[in-house]
Amino acid sequence: MRRQVVIDTETTGLEPAEGHRVVEIGCVELIERRLERHYQVHLNPDRLVSERSLEVHGLDDNFLAEQPRFADIRSDFLAFIADAELIAHNAPFDIGFLNAELERVGDSQRLADYTSGVIDTLALARRLHPGQRNGLDDLCQRYYINSAARTQHGALLDAQLLAQVYLAMSGGQLRIALNPSAVGAVHSNTVTSGTPVLRATAEEWAEHRQFLAELQRRGDCQWSGEDEDQVADT
């Protein structure tokens, strides 16, 4: 069973070496590429948030002063990510900050000691799309993932969006359901052998053609899609 945790953080600033701290952790758990659970916590950093970071995530000092400290949630957080493969966008940033938090509470181990590895989706995106913008918003647009709710950064929302981006980049799955009630109906027919044949809806084919057109525009498409209707009817 492959267990992965997509993780994101929000912080008081850009450099843990300058004393900046984590103020939010957001995680979503993927088991065999299916979302199972999420984890979110806001943290009291015992310091002021920089103006630049406040503009990014909107978590102000008064709100954060009422939140638990990292030491209070350390055990629950480590239990959630234990033995999982972590997935993060610009992973050295998030991992560096979380390692610094572990060090502050006297933990001699690092995140790598609690997990089975790290996938950096920024590095993956740069390999797949060299010379292009590969921020999270750019990737959501490229893979037709709705990020309209991302008016400000938020660790849990960003982790949820990143999970969809990762699935699209690594295996072509463009959407994941965030809860069982969000799962749409599967349209299928059966042939005489009883083997199910999954058919795309008209809306899904239209979205697929739009995706291919964008790939063709960029010169990335290896298949024109001219035989789509034939494929759909087989």
Active-site residues, by number, are 153
Give the β-pairing of 85-88 and 117-120.
parallel
Task: Please work out, in degrees rounded to the nearest 5, the angle formed at the alpha carbon of residue 225 by the alpha carbons of 224 and 228.
Answer: 165
**Beta strand segments in the chain, E:** 3-11, 22-31, 34-42, 85-88, 117-120, 188-190, 196-198
Nearest to 121 by CA among 111, 133, 131, 136: 136
Q: How far apart are CA 213 and CA 211, in angstroms?
A: 5
> Dihedrals φ, ψ of 26, to 5°?
-130, 135
Helical H segments across 58-201, by residue range: 61-64, 70-81, 91-104, 111-114, 121-128, 136-142, 155-171
- Consecutive H or E run containing 211: helix 202-218
Residue 49 has, within 13 A of its CA and on its CB side, a CA count of 23
In 10 A of CB 105, how many CB atoms? 11
In 10 A of CB 134, how many CB atoms? 21
